[in-house]
Amino acid sequence: MKIFLFTIISILFLGGCQYPAGEQHLETTTMKDNAQLRIATFAGGCFWCVESDFEKLPGVVKVISGYTGGRKKNPTYGEVSSGETGHIEAVQVYYDPSQITYEELLDYFWRHIDPTDPGGQFVDRGQQYRSAIFYHDEEQRRLAEQSRDTLTKSGRFTKPVVTEIVPFTQFYEAEDYHQDYYKTHSLKYNFYRTGSGRDLFLKKTWGRETGKTNTLKQKSQKPDDATLRKTLTPLQYDVTQKEGTEPPFQNEYWDNKKEGIYVDIVSGEPLFSSLDKYDSGTGWPSFTKPLEPANIVEREDRKLFIKRTEVRSKRSDSHLGHVFPDGPKPSGLRYCMNSAALRFIPKEDLEKEGYGEYLKLF
């Protein structure tokens, strides 16, 4: 009998977000709690897990589990989990933009889902568990699409990124039973999460990078122009601030073969790894992909009367170079950078320079 009962309990636990809860009428979420907070809406499978993950972030004030994207008003959990309402399990993240940015939330989101799975997330199967980003305005749409494209180009995944980016319509809070489930039902939650396969996938894909955003370390503001002129060499200033170009074959890193990482000369943002560096024959340091895609911004550049893609750093907005679609496989990209925009940190100095997390790469 004990074996039978444990089997039944295990099935219920492993059902995770498909385990039924009490039904009740729901209310929509609004901004009335605090006018200075902003809202981001994400779907990443079981909302117990997504809520738990986002509530760990500094700058996130609260996270609400609920349903969105479907046809039925005020759906119940049972209705949504049946897959017949068109709704997706989702969370609304209330965050303070002075402490954390929407871009950082996006970066964190990618690190806690499988963006290549069109049929659900991990053990939870069905369209009601698929991943999605619901944008609240055009700026969120732009940033979400940019973030998705950067992830795709990074080569992190071999399969296509299929996470939807769609306009937000209405959000319905889930029943009280589901709010803060990881706290109120910690034993059941931990049992479910372990059995779901989520953390195994995330650890395999991201390693120690899972639990943080790339950009949270770099919080300092960009120095003013007078400071930049004092701290940068004339060439570094011209390249990073005036979008200049250094001479090929006559720059510091074009032929550098040492192991380590390349960071932004102004902010220290990690940008590229020696593992992705190759000899492109151009005379400039070239890479197949960024080390930290979230620290890279790509913009259209038509200055030479041809369409090119400029590459800039996220925090300091430094001009770095350009990316071209003529690189080697698997990315097929060539990130052609200016040495003057970079600082190289050899692997033996990573720990003392504050980049110890990257030692595992070498």
Catalytic residues: 46, 336
Place of tokens 């009335």: 32
Please, which residues have CB within 8 angstroms of residue 223's CB and are 6 or more apart in sequence? 231, 266
Which of 76, 70, 59 is closest to 23 using CA atoms? 76
Q: Which residues pair with 286 in a beta bridge?
A: 278, 336
String of DSSP letters for 147-191: HHHHHHHHT--SSPP--EEEE---EEEPPGGGTTHHHHTHHHHHH
Tokens of 21: 């809860």
Which residues, 6 or more positions from 154, have their beta carbon under 8 angstroms from its beta carbon? Answer: 289, 290, 293, 331
Q: Exposed, middle or buried: residue 199 (CB in 10 Å: 0-12, 13-18, 19+)?
A: middle
Residue type (1 letter), 6: F
